[in-house]
Amino acid sequence: MKTNRYLLSSTLVAALGSFLFGFDTAVISGTTEALRQVFQLSSGQLGFTVASALVGTILGSLLAGKPAELLGRKRTLTLLALFYFVSSLGCGLAWNWISLLAFRFMGGIAIGVASVVSPMYIAEIAPPASRGRLVAVSQFNTVLGILVAYFTNYVIASIFAGPEAAGALVAWRWMFGILAAPSVVFFFLVLRIPESPRWLVKQHRPTEALDVLRRLGNADSEQLIREISESLREETVRTHEPFYVAKYRKPILLAIMVATFNQLSGINALIYYTADIFRMAGAERASALLQSVIIGVACLVATALAMGVIDRFGRKKLLLTGAAGMAFCLAITAFAFYQRSGGRVVLASLIGYIGFFAFSQGSVIWVFLSEIFPNRVRARGQALGSFVHWLWCAVVSWTFPIIAEQSGGHAFLFFSLMMILQLAMVAKLLPETKGVSLEQIQRTLGIE
């Protein structure tokens, strides 16, 4: 199916929010050693510094539904750009540890909101036949942001190479502060995209929604407006549609399941502590940063492959394939740490792991969460899924260095076992949502 140019450009702009999300998430991995030196942090304080953004992320994902519903998807994205800009400059100019924590927390709020609103906006402007591929653009940009963060960390560290303490005084500030530039670009580009037609219908502005749908290239815009209006019914005039009720039980439980296993795969332990993991395996500092870039490239390539097949193979098959592959690669990683096999085995197994993750649940999670909730509670449903995702991320990221201090093998063996459990649960419980309109998915899940 040929994608309308206006639809594609709007998708790419919204997905830039996910690029900033990915960059801001991963950039901390290159600064941990420097932050320990500059602010004289203990291991506990360093762990809290990494987790400070996650606390903001949890709050942001939990509250994202409010501005998305009250202000609209578009204006919420513009606020995200401002948050990213202030956070990145603040971290780069931080005058003490407390100020760094405050600005990291602010950036975490932006990450949490972006993880909800960017894919939700894309899902609401995309036609069913290409929705999975277009929402996956959001995940692709997240992975691209991670790769660029790893790469800029490596380049900046190389520029300021020299005595560790002297380089740390400058390099980490540039690693954080460089995000301000794309934040400004994102702000001005968002001003040029349309508002979500589904949000416009909820605001009783069907004429504007119809115009947007036509510009986006929908073949039967009038029929789609009728479907959206029917799915909203009287709830479009109610301000407090109940969410935690029996009719939404199935999508709520599915969202919790997918979001939980996404993090129990250990993905963000790898994202936040990439360089540290390779140093644990015996790599030097510069080599560890370069190996982080290799991991980022593998993730990006696998995500691109997933975008090409997600609407053909479906969400469920990708999750099953990924769970099996990750379980195997994580088991090899655990074995390598137990046997002290060296950095090459760890690098090879983690490349395989990150490839399977990006090909499967890395690309599926935000697509699936944006699909399974009906229009009238989609913002709250996606916020719930994102909240669960980031809550587990905080737990895993905070506990990983404690467990890994005893043995890296323990942590990776646990992640492998979780992927075996996911394989069984996805096979038994997960429905397929490919190629089905958002309104039809609602009916399939038994939501009247």
Mean pLDDT is highest, among 52-56, 218-222, 431-435, for 52-56
Domain tally, the chain? 1
In the predicted model, is pLDDT for residue 62 greater than 80?
Answer: no
Nearest to 130 by CA among 11, 225, 40: 11
Residue 98: the pLDDT is 93
Residue with tokens 């490239």: 297
Nearest to 370 by CA among 362, 388, 382: 382
Going by pLDDT thresholds of 50, 70 and 90, the confidence category of residue 102 is: very high
Domain assignment present for residue 145? The answer is yes
CB of 49 within 8 A of CB of 35? yes
Mean pLDDT is highest, among 64-73, 88-97, 299-308, 346-355, for 88-97
Domain assignment present for residue 43? The answer is yes
Residue 311: the pLDDT is 67
Residue 69: the pLDDT is 82
Q: Using CA atoms, how far apart are residues 221 and 129, in angstroms rounded to an integer? A: 15
Domain assignment present for residue 198? The answer is no
Q: What's the pLDDT tens digit per position in 322-368?
A: 899 999 999 998 888 888 776 678 888 888 888 888 778 877 777 77
Going by pLDDT thresholds of 50, 70 and 90, the confidence category of residue 167 is: low
Residue 165: the pLDDT is 47
Q: What's the pLDDT tens digit per position in 5-47?
A: 888 888 888 888 888 888 888 888 888 778 878 888 877 777 7
- Mean per-residue pLDDT of the chain: 80
Domain assignment present for residue 227? The answer is no
Domain assignment present for residue 223? The answer is no
In the predicted model, is pLDDT for residue 66 greater than 50?
Answer: yes
Nearest to 121 by CA among 184, 57, 78, 183: 78
Residue range(s) defining the domain that contains residue 431: 5-193+245-444
Mean pLDDT is highest, among 48-62, 108-122, 256-270, for 256-270
| Encoded amino acid at 212, one letter | V
Going by pLDDT thresholds of 50, 70 and 90, the confidence category of residue 437 is: low
More reliable by pLDDT, 30 or 104? 104
Lowest mean pLDDT among 23-32, 105-114, 121-130, 195-204: 121-130
Residue 260: the pLDDT is 92
Percentage of the chain lying above the pLDDT 90 cut: 14
- CATH number reported for the structural domain that contains residue 54 in this entry: 1.20.1250.20
Q: What's the pLDDT tens digit per position in 182-217?
A: 999 999 999 988 888 888 888 878 788 888 778 877
Residue 448: the pLDDT is 57
Domain assignment present for residue 209? The answer is no
Domain assignment present for residue 240? The answer is no
Residue 386: the pLDDT is 76
Q: How many CA atoms lie within 13 A of 344 on its CB side?
A: 0
Q: Using CA atoms, how far apart are residues 413 and 408, in angstroms rounded to an integer? A: 9
Q: What number is the average pLDDT over the span 385-399?
A: 82
Residue 276: the pLDDT is 73
Mean pLDDT is highest, among 160-174, 284-298, 405-419, for 405-419
99-102, long-range: CB < 8 A, 24+ apart: 100/35, 100/39, 100/49, 101/48, 101/49, 101/52
Residue 249: the pLDDT is 83
Q: Using CA atoms, how far apart are residues 386 and 132, in angstroms rounded to an integer? A: 18
Domain assignment present for residue 217? The answer is no
More reliable by pLDDT, 301 or 287? 301
| Dihedral sign from CA coordinates of 357, 111, 263, 132 | negative
- Indicate the Cα dihedral angle 104, 107, 112, 113, nearest 10°: 160
The residues, any chain, with a CB within 8 Å of residue 157's CB and separated by 6 or more, are 30, 167, 171, 285, 286, 289
Widest pairwise Cα distance in the chain: 66
Going by pLDDT thresholds of 50, 70 and 90, the confidence category of residue 420 is: very high
In the predicted model, is pLDDT for residue 55 greater than 90?
Answer: no
